[in-house]
Chain A
Amino acid sequence: MADSTHMDVSYIAHLARIHLTDGETKLFQGQLDQVLTYVEQLGELDVSNVEPTAHAMALVNVLRDDTPRASLDHDAVIANAPAARDGQILVPKILE
């Protein structure tokens, strides 16, 4: 299966808004393909009798009550932002 062991690195980088040089693209392409080939070994196992799951723990329904608790201090939040104005976080202009 060619697809499961190959990832289009430049496309993924574009989706994640990461700029890669040609050299980096080539380097990561090789590394990621290696990772995928390694993981592909799992395909050798027969899992036809196993229920698919996204979790290793057999737990369900971990819920909390709808009770408010303290939020972070506003000044601390703003101090963490690269830029702020009027109590809001300022980012480069975005398109709706």
Chain B
Amino acid sequence: MASATSSTVDPRTGGADVHLPDSARDLVKILVTGPFGVGKTTLIRSVSEIRPLHTEEQLTEASAQVDDLAGVRDKSTTTVAIDFGRISLPGGIVLYLFGTPGQERFRPLWDDVAYGALGALVLVDTRRIDASFDVLGLVEESGLPYAVAFNTFPDSPRHHTAGQLRAALDLEPTTPMVTCDARETDSSLDALLALVQHLIDHHPPENR
């Protein structure tokens, strides 16, 4: 198979070539999840080597019924966009980041995207902590190990202590909590590192 040529400009990807490098061998994924507007795509964009792409996912029958209860009439066209990006790492590892909405009604889709994931980074907005309860419930029920990253906004409250946040989110003592600015590459990498270190320390892969 011919290797990718940089002369092919693809308007869908901003001119970048998304074909996998020939060295790609081990493809792994991490979910970046949280409520709408919390900064999932921003974080993915800050670290991804490709401009984030997205797929349009159709919600299944089960979730469509929940939509019906919420008063959404046009169920047949209910779709949700899943953004994703990727990072090529040395040794042929390619890490995919999937921005997965955390609402309860997306559960079947969530389970599908989460299949085979290493873990989840749960983004939380401290201005509306209660918006994260659904996603934390989903993550915990899926059994995926996770870390929590508080994405900072200019008007985020600063008076919460770590203990208060842990209590408010009802987190295990071992669940990592980090603060990040999803717009900053290094800050986003630190948040991902907190998760991966947690996986190394508490969830040996041979047990999964």
Q: Do A and B associate with each other?
A: no
Binding site for B on A (CB under 8 A): none
